[in-house]
């Protein structure tokens, strides 16, 4: 455990600070719901220091996304930090840095293809049977204006649902598809091959966080349909299935749009975000053209949902 230091903050705000070994770290919550900036901490050191990393992990479970500025770390240190959470995974479409497997380069400039995969509220790779645990994302080059990322607390989104909706969705399951998202613009043969490699995954609509026990609303832009909605309790006539299920799914997906569940981060060069992919969604705002935005992300392998 870290040692909380009373009155250790040097700013005029009353932010909590804690000491890990010789480092004193300031924790600055960014909203009452989600997100905290950690100041006076070295992620390069955290990639090597088990005690410091353990405290960062504890804070991640509490705040769901952690932010850092002025982290001039190497790609090797970036990967080493992410690997403390677990093994890294490649991306079948975006690929990885050749020298650093698992480090995905997300570079956007005027020559980039006009795909729009980031600017939708989503939880990374829920088309996998075991979606990622989380990610470590660093800004290599940011635009002069724009290019923020928004994160959403999906535990809070579930908690604030009406009780009758919670009762209705408690046992529902849904499909998540890479074919209908990343594959949609591919030629049919290539799209089908992608689907063969990554068949649609099925997850509970309300998942349980494996470490905190929180209940999480777990539908997003990769979700295509419910798989067990067509029951006598939900469907009077056959035509109830499509509008009833799709309208409920769209209602649930829209919960991520609520500002009260969100935090927004303005990137600067060498700023870093670490997020828990199990309890959040995010949205990369593409409002910076003709600016350039270059990001590098290490995604951490997760576990099957329940």
Active site residues: 122, 124, 282, 297
**Within 10 A of 211 (CB to CB), how many other CB atoms are there?**
13
First to last CA, the chain: 29
CB 29 within 8 A of CB 257: no
Would you state the structure tokens that stand for residue 97, as one six-digit string? 């840095």
For the chain, strand residue ranges (E) read: 3-5, 17-20, 23-29, 36-39, 65-68, 103-108, 134-141, 149-153, 173-176, 201-204, 206-208, 215-217, 223-226, 262-265, 272-276, 280-284, 293-300
Spatial separation of the C-alpha atoms in residues 256 and 284, rounded to whole Å: 13
Distance of CA 197 to the CA centre of its chain: 23
DSSP state of 88: B
For 154-306, strand residue ranges (E) read: 173-176, 201-204, 206-208, 215-217, 223-226, 262-265, 272-276, 280-284, 293-300
Spatial separation of the C-alpha atoms in residues 143 and 91, rounded to whole Å: 25
């Amino acid at each position: 455990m870290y040692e909380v230091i009373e009155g250790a903050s040097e700013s005029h705000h009353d932010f909590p600070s804690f000491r890990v070994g010789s480092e004193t770290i300031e924790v600055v919550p960014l909203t009452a719901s989600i997100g905290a900036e950690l100041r006076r901490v070295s992620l390069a050191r955290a990639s090597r220091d088990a005690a410091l990393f353990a405290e960062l992990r504890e804070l991640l479970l509490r705040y769901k996304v952690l932010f850092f500025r002025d982290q001039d770390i190497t790609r090797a240190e970036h990967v080493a930090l992410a690997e403390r959470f677990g093994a890294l995974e490649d991306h079948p479409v975006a690929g990885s840095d050749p020298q650093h497997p698992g480090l995905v380069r997300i570079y956007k400039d005027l020559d980039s293809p006009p795909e729009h995969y980031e600017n939708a509220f989503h939880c990374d790779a829920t088309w996998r049977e075991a979606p990622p645990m989380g990610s470590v994302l660093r800004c290599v080059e940011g635009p002069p204006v724009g290019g923020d990322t928004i994160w959403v607390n999906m535990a809070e989104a579930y908690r604030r649902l009406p009780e009758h909706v919670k009762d209705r969705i408690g046992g529902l399951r849904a499909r998540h598809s890479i074919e209908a998202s990343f594959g949609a613009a591919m030629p049919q043969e290539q799209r089908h091959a992608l689907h063969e490699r990554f068949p649609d995954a099925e997850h509970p609509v309300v998942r349980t966080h494996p470490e905190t026990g929180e209940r999480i609303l777990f539908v997003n832009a990769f979700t295509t349909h419910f798989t067990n909605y067509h029951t006598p309790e939900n469907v009077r006539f056959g035509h109830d299935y499509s509008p009833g299920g799709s309208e409920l799914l769209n209602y649930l997906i829209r919960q991520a749009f609520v500002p009260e569940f969100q935090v927004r981060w303005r990137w600067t060069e060498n700023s870093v975000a670490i997020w828990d992919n199990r309890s959040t969604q995010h949205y990369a705002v593409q409002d910076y053209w003709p600016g350039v935005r270059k990001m590098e992300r290490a995604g951490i392998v997760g576990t099957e949902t329940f």
